[in-house]
Each structure stands twice: as structure tokens, then as C-alpha cells.
Amino acid sequence: MSAPGTPAPERTTCAQARAEVSWVLLGVCCGLPLEQARRLHDDALLVATELTSNAIRHAGGTTAFDVGLHGDRLWMSVSDRSVEVPRRTPSEPKVPGGFGWLVVQRLSSRVTVDVGDGGKTITAELRLPAAPDGSGSL
């Protein structure tokens, strides 16, 4: 609960992040062959889920989530209150988890982490496939 006069944090859930990503990708995916559209959509949803679930699990929750298109890229930004930079942690073979940060890095064409006084923002970019007619990005 926030103190009187203090705005409550955003607290985006994984489901909300996935819905926003799906909405932004709707027009892009409609112009692609089915398999390319599925791959882009699935990869983007997985990145959004990993970023938000990691913020919830390891950084006290999200304080902001944003998604958009810029040129030939889809970008997603998740902010939280932790200043700790994500790192790959060795995991035990029989213990689930520990691969989220690696998944984000592998599926994204670029990942940045900006740390400030009140927390950090992680931005992941996914490259959009070329238009079916070969004219470049959609």
C-alpha cells in the first residue's frame, strides 16, 4: 500500500504485457506468412513474459511496461525498483528455472539495461522479418 499522496506503482502482470505485445504485433503478423508470424509472435510473447516475470520474482514487481515498433524492430521495456543488473546464474540440472535471462538474450537482437537511482529499465528489441515481397521491413 502506498503512502497518502504517493502514486501506486504500475504492477504490470505477465498477462497484461503479453496482451499489449499481441496488440502491437497484430498488423505486422497479418502481413507475414503464417510460420513467420507464429515465430515472431511466440518469441515476442516469451520475451515479454520473461522480462515481466523476472521483475515480479526478483525485483519487487514492475513499475512500468511499454512496447512499440520502431523501423524494423519491436521493442519492449520493463522497469522495476531494483538496481541489480540481471545475470545468468548457474542452475542445478534438476531444479527448474534459471534460464529466463538467457532466453531474453538469445531471442532479442539487442538488450539494454539502464540503471538509475530508483531502479532499472530493461529494453529488449526483436528484429521484424522482411516483407514477403522482399521490400525490406514491414
> What residues have CB less than 8 Å from 119, skipping those under 6 apart?
59, 63, 79, 80, 81, 82, 83
Residue 7 lies in a domain: no
What does the pLDDT look like over 83-123, one tens digit per residue? 999 887 666 666 666 788 999 999 999 999 999 988 999 99
Contact 125/74 with Cβ under 8 angstroms? yes
Q: What pTM was computed for the model?
A: 0.84
Q: Whole domain around residue 65: which residue ranges?
A: 14-127
Residue 137 lies in a domain: no
Residue 136 lies in a domain: no
How is residue 124 annotated by DSSP?
E
List the CATH number of the domain containing 99: 3.30.565.10
What does the pLDDT look like over 30-81, one tens digit per residue? 989 999 999 999 999 999 999 999 999 889 899 999 999 999 999 999 999 9
